[in-house]
Chains A and B, each alone.
Chain A
Amino acid sequence: MRKLLDFLVRKRHWFVFILLEFVSLTLIYRNNVYQRNIMFSTANVIAANIVSVTGSVTSYLDLREINKELLERNGKLEMELLMFKELVEAMKADTAVFRAFSMDNVRLFPYDFVTAKVINNSVTYLSNYITLNKGKKDGINPDMGVMSDNGAVGIVIKASDYYSVVLPLLNTKFNLSCKVLGSSHIGSLSWNGRNARYANLDELPRHVQFQIGDTIVTSGYSTVFPEGILVGFVSSFERQRDDNFNSLKIELATDFQRLNNVMVIRNFRQEEQRAIEEEVKVND
């Protein structure tokens, strides 16, 4: 007995080692199930505070570039607005006045957005995450879509009171339902872990017509993103093994390496849609 105890005490570093490895591996495993329970993450107040210090410093470095982009985008939107105004004028002049206009036909746009700043970001791992400087107190909750000025970014997976963590397109665990602009067949966008500029759009039926350079947008088949948010552009394609589907290489519209300001999209009717979908599934 004494010898056994002696042995255990002498070899105690083995037990420490095995225990700690077990803890680490448990963390990894739990995290892989679905990224919901990250206890140890930058949504944690202390970690987020430290990180946001650098975030506030580095955000000044890109200001010139961001300003230029915003100006360009502003100009583009203004041109679009002018175009639409002109279109409306032309149509008004062209059509008889429609007096029996019923409000019921108007689909209210159920989306709203909150702007937030990126305070932590990575692009080199296989599982990348982005931390934002706003959380539940600002109305951000898990399962909200996130987009930048240029296009889709990802989905909020965890929100603490003042911070939230986003699962971006640049995470091998993330799939986004997308389509080629102008067609209605959907494919699933995923990242292969290599290049932060490109992602793959798989399972797109072969008969869908497209060309190199075509725009890829979100399909709107989820409660997270509205339809038609820019995701990227087709850069090349190849047939998949079973020949019925195309696999497209997409150049992402969002430059994740220079991500600075983002918009979190709130969908007022998300709960409602979820609930009704769940109900149907239960009845099945």
Chain B
Amino acid sequence: MISFVRNLMYFIVLVLVQVLILNNIHFLRLVTPFLYLYFIIKLPVGLTSSKITSASFLIGLTIDIFSNTPGMHAAACTLAGFSRPLIIRVLMGEELSDTVFPSYKSFGYGGFSRLVATLVVIHHLTLFLLESLTLFDPLFLSIRIVASITTVTLLICIVEAFNIESQKNGD
């Protein structure tokens, strides 16, 4: 129950921050920071795959509603959420306890940033490729993808460093 409320808080706060502030940022016309991915990353390790996939789909759909892009964020997030348990198993092995959620403390700096980077890459590749299906402009597209992935990964790592919850009970 507490875990559910915690996840819901993450959901609401991140959606609001994303929709009201970050969606209006277009750094150098290239990068819009999709910080809401932080929600998918911070879900507890113990959740079943189907729950994580559905939660990711929900946040993607919510972002879609607010940015008038039906389905794109939802599709990208579903893929990211679906692959999250796999990535965690590959990166960290099987021996994590169920109540843990990813943070610097539980995953280590290297492990956590690798998780973030992998998820962001999966999400952004899907998102940008879906978006540009109609438009073939490979150079500009790859610049956008690389710039966005770098920015968002850095941003999430920074936010995690300042997250009070992780510092209190990260283990």
**B116 contacts the other chain (CB 8 A):** no
The reply to whether A194 and B60 form a contact with Cβ atoms under 8 Å apart is no
Q: Which residue of the partner chain B has the closest CB to A17?
A: B82
The reply to whether B29 and A38 form a contact with Cβ atoms under 8 Å apart is no
The reply to whether A25 and B75 form a contact with Cβ atoms under 8 Å apart is yes
**A27 contacts the other chain (CB 8 A):** yes
CA distance A23 to B57 in the complex (A): 10
**B68 contacts the other chain (CB 8 A):** yes
Which of A16, A23, A44 touches B74 (beta carbons < 8 Å)? A23
CA distance A20 to B79 in the complex (A): 9
Residues of A contacting B70 in the complex (Cβ-Cβ under 8 angstroms): 27-28, 30-31, 38-41
**A211 contacts the other chain (CB 8 A):** no
The reply to whether B82 and A13 form a contact with Cβ atoms under 8 Å apart is yes
Interface string of B17-58 (1 = CB under 8 A from A): 001100100100100100000000000000011100110010
CA distance A237 to B82 in the complex (A): 47
**A122 contacts the other chain (CB 8 A):** yes
Residues of A contacting B137 in the complex (Cβ-Cβ under 8 angstroms): 192-194
The reply to whether B53 and A16 form a contact with Cβ atoms under 8 Å apart is yes
The reply to whether A28 and B130 form a contact with Cβ atoms under 8 Å apart is yes
**B78 contacts the other chain (CB 8 A):** yes
Q: Which residue of the partner chain A has the closest CB to B67?
A: A122
**B66 contacts the other chain (CB 8 A):** yes
Residues of B contacting A165 in the complex (Cβ-Cβ under 8 angstroms): 68
The reply to whether B78 and A124 form a contact with Cβ atoms under 8 Å apart is no
Residues of A contacting B64 in the complex (Cβ-Cβ under 8 angstroms): 27, 40
Residues of A contacting B57 in the complex (Cβ-Cβ under 8 angstroms): 20, 23-24
The reply to whether B65 and A42 form a contact with Cβ atoms under 8 Å apart is yes
Q: How far is the CB of B153 from chain A (nearest CB, A)?
A: 19
The reply to whether A51 and B66 form a contact with Cβ atoms under 8 Å apart is yes
**A111 contacts the other chain (CB 8 A):** no
**B69 contacts the other chain (CB 8 A):** yes
**B135 contacts the other chain (CB 8 A):** yes
CA distance A168 to B91 in the complex (A): 44
Interface string of A238-277 (1 = CB under 8 A from B): 0000000000000000000100000000000000000000
Residues of A contacting B121 in the complex (Cβ-Cβ under 8 angstroms): none
**A62 contacts the other chain (CB 8 A):** no
The reply to whether B78 and A131 form a contact with Cβ atoms under 8 Å apart is no
**A115 contacts the other chain (CB 8 A):** no
Which of A13, A38, A123, A128 touches B53 (beta carbons < 8 Å)? A13
Q: How far is the CB of B129 from chain A (nearest CB, A)?
A: 12
The reply to whether A13 and B74 form a contact with Cβ atoms under 8 Å apart is no
The reply to whether B65 and A41 form a contact with Cβ atoms under 8 Å apart is yes
CA distance A15 to B49 in the complex (A): 11
Q: How far is the CB of B145 from chain A (nearest CB, A)?
A: 13
Residues of B contacting A16 in the complex (Cβ-Cβ under 8 angstroms): 49-50, 53-54
Residues of A contacting B69 in the complex (Cβ-Cβ under 8 angstroms): 125, 127
Residues of B contacting A26 in the complex (Cβ-Cβ under 8 angstroms): 71
**A172 contacts the other chain (CB 8 A):** yes
The reply to whether B50 and A13 form a contact with Cβ atoms under 8 Å apart is yes
Q: How far is the CB of A192 from chain B (nearest CB, A)?
A: 8
Closest 5 CB pairs of A and B: A27-B71, A13-B49, A24-B75, A28-B71, A129-B68
Complex A-B: 10 CB contacts under 8 Å? A13-B49, A16-B54, A21-B75, A21-B78, A23-B57, A31-B70, A42-B65, A50-B19, A51-B66, A126-B134
Give 11 new A-B contacts, CB below 8 A, not counting A50-B16, A122-B67: A13-B82, A17-B78, A24-B57, A27-B64, A38-B70, A41-B70, A42-B65, A126-B135, A127-B68, A127-B69, A173-B134
